Amino acid sequence: MKRSLPGMISLALALLFTALACAPGRESAAPPAAAPGTAERPGATKPAWEQEWDRVLAAGKQEGRVSMYTTQGAEFRTAVAAVMAKKYSIELESLTGRTDEISERVMREQRSKVYNADVLIAISTSNFDLYKREALLQPLEQALILPDVADPKTWYRNQLTWLDVEPGEKTVLGYRESVAPPMVINTQLVKPGELKSWDDLLNPKWKGKILLQDPTGGGGGQLQMIMLVYGIKNWDFVKALVKQEPELHRDNRLMAEWVARGKFPIVIGPQKAEVFQFMKAGAPLEYLTPSEGTYSSVGAGTVALVKNSQHPNAARVLINFLLTKEGQTIAAETSGNQSLRLDVPVDSLDTDTVRQPGIKYISNTDKGFREKESEIKAEVVRIFQAYLKGKG
C-alpha cells in the first residue's frame, strides 16, 4: 500500500518515541535536588556577612530605637537621626555633653544598673582609661559587619585606629583625626619665612611675645608640648621655650582676639573654632605648621558600644552606618575634621584641617605615645607650674 510522505514521517516519529519510552533504565529528566536545607533558607546563598547584617538589621528594627551619648553638635545629630529613621526605621535618641560629663554619667548609670546608653561618640585618649578601668564597654571589633567598614584598606595608614593599647579586646575605634596647625600668627607682625622651624621660636626677638594655651590645664597647649617631647623635638626644646617667657592663658577666644588685634604675634595651641571666627571677620591671621611637623588627634571622634546595651542590634546598625562613606561624610562636614576613611570627600573642609603631603603627623593614638603620655604629661605640667610660680 502506498503511503504519503507526511504519513510516513508521522509513523517514524511514533515508533521512535515508543522505543525511547521502553528503553531499560531510562527515566524522564528531573531538576537537580536542592542542597539540604536550602529550600527553607532562601538567604543561604548570600555571603556570611550579608546574612549577619540582615539578621542584625531585622532585630534592630524590632528594637525600634537606639540611644547615643555624644559630644557632637546638633547638625550631626539631626543628620544621623534622619538617616537612621528613613533608611533603617530606627529612632535615634541623643544625649550631649562634654567628654568628662558623659564618662561620669555612664559610670554612675552602670553602677546603678541603669542602662540608658547604647553607643558612645565621646571617648578621647584623656578619658579612655576610666572606661577601661570601670569596665564600661563591650568588645566592638565583632560588631563591624559591613565589609568596607571592617577592611583596613578603607582607612588611613591601612589600619583601623583602635585606642586600646593592651592586647586583647578592642573597644574604642577612632574615625577621624584633627590636624589643625599648631600655631597661628598675625601676618602684620610676623614676616613670611620667619617661622619655618620650631627652633625659630627661640629667636630672642620673640621673647615675651609668644602666647601659649596653658599646658598645666589640658587642651591644645598641653598636647602640643607632650608631642614636642615625644616625637617632634625634645625636652631641651621645651625648656628653652620656657626661657622665652611665653604668656600662658586658658581663654581660647581671648587668645584668638589678642593675636588678631596684634597684642601678641604668635599663639601656640589655639582652638580652631575661635580662630576661624576672627579669620572670617578679616583679621590678619594665618595658620602655620613648622617643618618638623605636628600632631594629629582623634579628639572625641570615636565610637564604642556600652556594656549592657538595651538595644544591641540597633546599636550595631548605628555604628556600622556611622563608619560607612555616607556616615563619615556627615561626620566630616558637620565637624570640619577630616575622616580617617580614604574615600570621604574633603572639598567642604578648610584646607588647613586636611592632611598635607610632606608634613609629619604624629597621632595621639600611636601606641608608643599612649604608653608614655602620662609620664610626659606629668613632667610637662611640673615644668610649667614651676614657671608660673617663678613669675610670681
Distance between CA atoms of 371 and 373, rounded to whole angstroms? 6
Of the listed ranges 113-122, 153-162, 173-182, the one predicted with least confidence:
173-182
DSSP letters for 10-60 = HHHHHHHHHHHHHSTT-----PPPPPTTTTT-GGGGS-HHHHHHHHHHHHH
According to the CATH classification, is domain 183-296+370-391 in 3.40.190.10? yes
Cβ proximity of 119 and 317 under 8 Å: no
pLDDT digits over 312-361, tens only? Answer: 999 999 999 999 999 999 999 998 899 999 999 999 888 888 998 888 89
Res 367: pLDDT = 84
Distance between CA atoms of 224 and 181, rounded to whole angstroms? 10
User: Which helix (DSSP H) or strand (DSSP E) does residue 119 occupy?
Assistant: strand 119-121
According to the CATH classification, is domain 48-178+298-354 in 3.40.190.10? yes
Distance between CA atoms of 178 and 162, rounded to whole angstroms? 16
pLDDT digits over 31-57, tens only? Answer: 444 333 334 455 568 999 999 999 999
What is the percentage of the chain residues whose pLDDT exceeds 70?
89
**Nearest residue to 331 via CA among 178, 179, 182:** 178
Q: Determine the length of the chain.
A: 392
Task: Taking residues 113-134, report their average pLDDT.
Answer: 92
Res 254: pLDDT = 95
Task: Taking residues 199-228, report their average pLDDT.
Answer: 93
Identify the residue with better confidence: 325 or 167: 325
- Domain 48-178+298-354 matches domain 183-296+370-391 at the CATH topology level: yes
Specify which residues 236 forms β-bridges with. Answer: none
Cβ proximity of 212 and 267 under 8 Å: yes
Res 12: pLDDT = 42
Res 358: pLDDT = 87
Cβ proximity of 287 and 352 under 8 Å: yes
User: Which helix (DSSP H) or strand (DSSP E) does residue 296 occupy?
Assistant: strand 294-296
Average pLDDT of every residue of the chain: 88
Residue 383 pLDDT class (50, 70, 90 cuts):
very high
**Nearest residue to 319 via CA among 118, 42, 103:** 118
Task: Taking residues 297-302, report their average pLDDT.
Answer: 90
Res 284: pLDDT = 97
What are the extents of the domains in the chain? Answer: 48-178+298-354, 183-296+370-391
Strands 172-174 and 119-121: unpaired
Res 370: pLDDT = 84
Strands 183-186 and 266-268: antiparallel
What is the percentage of the chain residues whose pLDDT exceeds 90?
69
SS (H, E, C) 68-119: EEECCCHHHHHHHHHHHHHHHCCEEEEEECCHHHHHHHHHHHHHCCCCCCCE
**Nearest residue to 235 via CA among 223, 244, 227, 246:** 227
pLDDT at 230 exceeding the cut of 50:
yes
